[in-house]
């Protein structure tokens, strides 16, 4: 079952941020520039870039967590014995680990967040573990390199106080558009997998 609510929520956040970035740029470029923005352009650019990456990471975590819970729920409904799964997977269970219950592979949000970031390569790995091949989506593939470089820039800002002097408000607007396409590609890949279930 597809559910676009998460995608719509984050797309709305991105569009609001895009409006803020546009207004910030207008305040800098106006005939009488806003001194707060003129004196702190780099601060605002860095803040907006961090927000762009934060929204993506939050979306990815929410989407992965939701899908993992759906898979876990399907498994619970199937009422597959815990011990049978371990036996068939060849995992040796000690007597104390035997459970006469149905298999429960529930996931916590922390388990998802510990294995996922906005970095495309960590994203690919976690979604592979969920049984979803993100690289099959053209918009994901064509944008993952740029997303990776933006996330790396964000990490350098947060961890090394990078000045980000090479980024403009116009760049941020472009980044938002690309992140929306990238996010939609992730959502599409998950929805395709959901439809096959």
Q: Report helix, strand or coil for 31.
A: coil
pLDDT at 84: 87
How many whole angstroms separate alpha carbon 19 and alpha carbon 14? 9
- Reported as a single tens digit per residue, the pLDDT across 160-196 is 888 888 999 999 999 999 999 999 999 999 998 765 5
Which neighbouring-strand residues pair with 81? 102
pLDDT at 34: 94
C-alpha distances out from residue 29 to 17, 22, 45, Å:
18, 11, 15
| Average pLDDT, rounded, for the chain | 92
Confidence (pLDDT) at 196: 56
Gap between the Cα atoms of 174 and 46, Å rounded: 15
Match 């049978």 to its residue by tokens. 84
Please determine, for residue 1, whether its predicted confidence score (pLDDT) is greater than 80. Answer: no
């Amino acid at each position: 079952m597809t559910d676009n609510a998460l995608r719509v929520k984050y797309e709305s956040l991105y569009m609001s941020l895009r409006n803020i970035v546009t207004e910030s740029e207008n305040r800098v470029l106006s005939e009488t520039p806003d001194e707060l923005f003129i004196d702190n352009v780099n601060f605002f650019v860095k803040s907006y870039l961090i927000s762009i990456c934060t929204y993506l990471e939050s979306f990815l975590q929410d989407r992965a967590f939701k899908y993992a819970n759906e898979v876990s729920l399907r498994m619970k409904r199937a009422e597959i014995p815990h011990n049978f799964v371990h036996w068939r997977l060849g995992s040796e269970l000690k007597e104390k680990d035997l459970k006469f219950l149905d298999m429960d592979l529930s996931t916590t949000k922390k388990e998802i967040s510990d294995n996922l970031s906005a970095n495309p390569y960590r994203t690919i790995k976690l979604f592979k573990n969920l049984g979803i091949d993100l690289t099959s989506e053209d918009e994901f593939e064509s944008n993952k390199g740029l997303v990776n470089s933006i996330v790396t820039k964000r990490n350098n800002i947060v961890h090394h106080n990078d000045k980000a002097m090479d980024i403009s408000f116009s760049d941020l607007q472009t980044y938002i558009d690309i992140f929306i396409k990238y996010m939609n590609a992730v959502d599409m890949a998950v929805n395709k997998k959901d439809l096959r279930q």
